[in-house]
Structure 1
Amino acid sequence: MRNPIDSPVSVLLDAVKRDGYSFVTAEVMQPLLQASGDLSDWDSFAASWNQLGPDPYLAATGRQRRRRHGTYAATSNGAVMLVPHQPHYQSLQYNRLQGDIERWFEPLDPAIANGNSLLTILAFCNRFFGSLTPASLHWHVEVHQFRIEANATSAGEPTPEGSHRDGVDFVLVLLIDRHNIASGTTTIHAPDGKPLGDFTLTHPFDAALIHDPRVFHGVTPVTPLVADEPAHRDVLVVTFRSKS
């Protein structure tokens, strides 16, 4: 019989405690999500990235990406609830490019916000991140759908602010799709800039789990493999910030 200490969740928890982050392959992540709930609407969930609106704040700086945003409240007993739409805010300390402003993005489509796949992902995060900080009883949760587009004349920038922290406690980055792109390598650094690791989210369900106060993260620009064909990188980013 397998020792429960060696379960995939325990291995990931140990990695995050030890290193401040963990790269999770799809072969591990997808079963963990399936054990947390229902992914029966995954196809429509993934297809919703085709309906993202432009990021007007980033476009003002000459860069392009598409996104939607939603906010939830989570409690230690496992309940995760959608709350009224609100702005996304980061201080300049955490976002040198767009800090100290309230940014309003198009809200998550209601069918996606309350759909099985997203609620399953949030349930996994609530249990996983909650087990790392059991004293936290209430969480402020934000969900970001990102599509980074690239073309022959302009590389796509998944993290235009550079290597950064998000100003939260924990971050999940989950790959939804990548089409006709090269690179997009996630880099992890210590606060003093020392490289700690790198990996590329290549397959749907590949993921990164990050303890935000301990490490910085960034993603290298993406470029098209075939210059005259559409190219994009779709990710879901979920952040958990303790409120108590």
Structure 2
Amino acid sequence: MHADADAVPSSRAPALRAVHCLACTLARPRRHAMLPQLFRMEQLGLQRGFLDSVAAYAAQLPWDAYDVARRRRQVLQRHASILAPAQRALLEDDDAAPDAVWNAVRDHLPSVLRAALERIQPHRRRAMRKYDARRVSTACWQLQPLEDPHFVQPAAAARAPHRVFAPIAAALTYHPDTLRLVAGIAETIHQRCAATRLQLVLHQMLTIARGPGAAEPAPEGLHQDGADYILSALVIRRRGVHGGASRVYRGSAGPLLLEHTLGEGEGLFQPDAGSPLWHEVSALHAEDPHGEGQRMILGIDAHVLSERPA
């Protein structure tokens, strides 16, 4: 499939042949099915120019308001005794809008605590796009980008279960290499479990590390995402930072299976829900204590769907 990234996208679902996937010849596939897999972008047929194409949208990514709300909520929970009953109830409401708790309590807080909470700043920019995917012939996937902005990640207890994110830019949504990435991951999943219908949630996320402080790429710590398979990260940009090591464990308290700091163009794919694999990413720190650094990734949560009745 050939597409012009600057063209107005068609409403028709594109069919893309997934020439590349991460399937590999194994003597005992079932034995290896639960292992995480490191890869390079070239294995999915992606060229280095794709990194620049994705990174070009950095300034357009909205700040993640949920990060600020989560950190303020954690501080307020330590001071819950000074809040009114209605405010405490709102504090425990996971479905509350990001600013709901802050707006309800801000004017009633001691000045020192209010000032400390006001200093909390966002450190991640992000956007999201969902795709419906159907395998229509051998290694050929029909991809339908969706307009649904809602994201639910029930397996990540440290985050509100219902969130709304801005869409990934249309030009990037329909970019040939974006579609190639999504189709390649879809075909990889098909090679592992014979799935022919998927919903894939593509995340674009930029984490900013400032000064001497730490920035968390994944604030929930060791976790599962709740999707059947995940591309936990394909690193697009990594500039002026250290840290950000990807770690995969067997179980929430089991042995470390993999630890690797992904460089630009490197990715990590693995089964998630229903598997024994748990993952985390260590904090980022700016190399210049007086400046800032950044790490941008694409991630995918892939959910296997049943075939629709004929």
Q: Same fold (TM over 0.5)?
A: yes
Q: Residue 62 of structure 2 aligns with which residue? A: 53
d(CA) in 1 for partners of 2:209, 2:29: 36
Matched residue type, 2:286:
P
Does 2:147 correspond to 1:138?
no
Runs of 5+ consecutive residues of structure 2 not aligned to the other structure: 1-20, 72-121
Q: Residue 302 of structure 2 aligns with which residue? A: 240
Matched residue type, 2:42:
P
Q: Residue 42 of structure 2 aligns with which residue? A: 31
Task: Map 1:79-228 to 2 at 5 A.
Answer: 79-91=142-154, 94-100=155-161, 102-134=162-194, 136-172=195-231, 173-194=233-254, 195-202=256-263, 204-213=264-273, 214=275, 215-228=277-290
Q: CA RMSD in A?
A: 2.3
Kindly provide the CA deviation profile for residues 128-167 of structure 1, in whole angstroms up to 9, marking residues without a partner as x. 1111110x22111101011111112421101100111110
The sequence identity of aligned pairs, in percent, is 22
d(CA) in 2 for partners of 1:178, 1:15: 34
Contact preservation (8 Å) 1:171, 1:210: yes
Which of 33, 37, 49 is the matching residue for 1:22? 37
Q: Residue 4 of structure 1 aligns with which residue? A: none
d(CA) in 2 for partners of 1:232, 1:171: 22
Contact preservation (8 Å) 2:41, 2:267: no
Which of 43, 48, 52 is the matching residue for 2:52? 43
Runs of 4+ that moved beyond 3 A? 11-19, 37-42
Kindly provide the CA deviation profile for residues 166-221 of structure 1, in whole angstroms up to 9, marking residues without a partner as x. 1011111200011110110011111242122211102x210101111320010000
Contact preservation (8 Å) 2:44, 2:180: yes
Change (3 A) 1:18 1:126: closer
d(CA) in 2 for partners of 1:200, 1:38: 21
- Note the C-alpha offset of 1:43: 2.4
Does 2:293 correspond to 1:231?
yes
- Aligned residues between the structures: 227
Matched residue type, 2:298:
L
d(CA) in 2 for partners of 1:11, 1:205: 23
Q: Residue 75 of structure 1 aligns with which residue? A: 134
The SS at the match of 1:76 is strand
d(CA) in 1 for partners of 2:67, 2:31: 31
d(CA) in 2 for partners of 1:152, 1:39: 30
Change (3 A) 1:96 1:8: closer
Kindly provide the CA deviation profile for residues 32-86 of structure 1, in whole angstroms up to 9, marking residues without a partner as x. 222xx77765522222133211001111123521100111101122111101233
d(CA) in 1 for partners of 2:221, 2:146: 30
Q: Residue 88 of structure 2 aligns with which residue? A: none
Contact preservation (8 Å) 2:222, 2:252: no
Contact preservation (8 Å) 2:41, 2:47: no
Contact preservation (8 Å) 1:41, 1:115: no
Tell me the TM-score normalised to structure 1 length. 0.85
Contact preservation (8 Å) 1:16, 1:22: no
Q: Residue 3 of structure 1 aligns with which residue? A: none
Please say which structure displays the higher CA radius of gyration: 2
More moved, 205-214 vs 12-21: 12-21
More moved, 167-176 vs 192-201: 192-201
Contact preservation (8 Å) 1:175, 1:234: yes
Matched residue type, 2:147:
P
